[in-house]
Every structure is written in structure tokens, then in C-alpha cells.
Amino acid sequence: MAELQFFTGTMDSGKSTLALQTNHNHATRGRVGRIFTTHDRAGQAVLSSRLGLTHDALEVDSDFDFWRYVVSSLTAGGRIDYLICDEAQFYSPDQIDQLAKIVDELQIDVFAFGILTDFRSFLFPGSARLVELADRMNVLQVEALCWCGKRATHNARTEDGVMVVEGDVVVVGDVADGDDEGSVPRPRPRVSDHPTPEVAYEVLCRQHHRRRLTAARAKAVSLAPEPLPFG
């Protein structure tokens, strides 16, 4: 029986890598699939992993209809055995319903990959609907770590190095990685007279997300002079 499976974890936990591996495993067994993504860090119509792996994909915009696409493809004589759906947190609840219908009515497997919560720690609507409908929900075993060494559970957004908890939910960036030049985040588009801030993301444990204590801020605090021992 076909299934709707949801694979989730924080940023930097290997979701896109697993999506590419899942596609490889099925394709090498002769199955025919389609790969979908949206708002990928590498640009439109590309599924990319931070390990450097990429694959062409179909871009999912707000008007994309999964049911119509699959039915049209099958009617035209195409073959579809499974769907790989990356960045599924950005899909609308209606699009998640379409994926569930494809599984139930057409017996096509759907493998969805995405993060649960945004930088404010609120559930993405697409992820919430996947939690409600998925036959199986799989939490990735590759744990991303907070700067303190604890398991990271929250995704934080920084602008010019300062953690923010307000703003647009969908802003493309990447996880900052120390001095790695390959992880320079994409600037956040903004129409104003002020310079465009540099947007990055960082995974944190709940405690440090709640305290807005990023790695950079923790380092700055640790380098600050000790207070004088006066009353």
C-alpha cells in the first residue's frame, strides 16, 4: 500500500540529503518518480544538499496543484511511482491534502521532507497538516547540535548577526557555519532606504533560543570583561 511519509528535523539535520538518497534508492530499483521543492537555497527548480549534492526538481509555487499535475501526467501516458517533496513546510495545507489524495486514490508513494517550526518556534502550516495526515512521521536521527553541544530543537534567524523573532516567515538563507565561505547566506530582499541585512539561520537548543543566545553572542559574552567585585 502506498504511504504518505513525513521526514522532519531541524535545519542542518540532513533532510535534503535524505531526500536525494531516497530518490536514488527507488530509481535504482526501476521506479519512476518526480522531485519537487520550493525556496531551495540553490535557487528555483533545484533540490540541493549542504553536502554539495543537487538534482533538478519541479518548483512548487502557491498555485501549484499536485493532483492536477499527476493526473495529467498519467493521462498523457507517463509513469509515476513516487513523489519526493522537499521543503514541504512551505507547501500550503491544500497542497498537503492533494498529496494525501494522490496516495489514497492513485496508490503513489509520497515522501515529504521539511522542518516543523519556523524561526519564531511556531508550526509551519504545511508541516502541521503533514503531522495531521501522514501515515508515518519520521524524526531524523542525525541530530543537529546547538553551539553548547546539546541537541538542537529550534531554528533561529539572525539579521546582521542579531537574532530576530519577528518578520516574514519565508526568507531564504542558510545555516551559518563559522568561517566556511560556502555558507554565506543570501541577503534578505527589502524595499527601503536602509542597507539589506545579512540573513542567516542557526540551530539552537530550546533554552538558548528562548534566551536569544546565539553562538556569536555567547562568544561575545564570554570575552566580555569580568564585572568588578563591588556591591
Q: Which residues are catalytic?
A: 87
Cβ-count burial 48-78 (b if 16+ within 10 Å, e if not):
bbbeeeebebbebeeebebbebbeeeeeeee
Residues 6+ apart with CB under 8 A from 101: 67
Rg of the chain taking only CA atoms, in angstroms: 20
Residue recorded with cell 521526514: 7
Q: Which strand (E) or helix (H) includes residue 72?
A: helix 66-75
How far, in Å, CA of 160 to CA of 137, rounded?
A: 35
How far, in Å, CA of 94 to CA of 62, rounded?
A: 10
Could you tell me if 156 and 203 are in contact, meaning their C-beta atoms sit under 8 angstroms apart?
yes
SS3 assignment, position 152: coil
Dmax (CA) for the chain in angstroms is 81
C-alpha cell at 43: 535557487
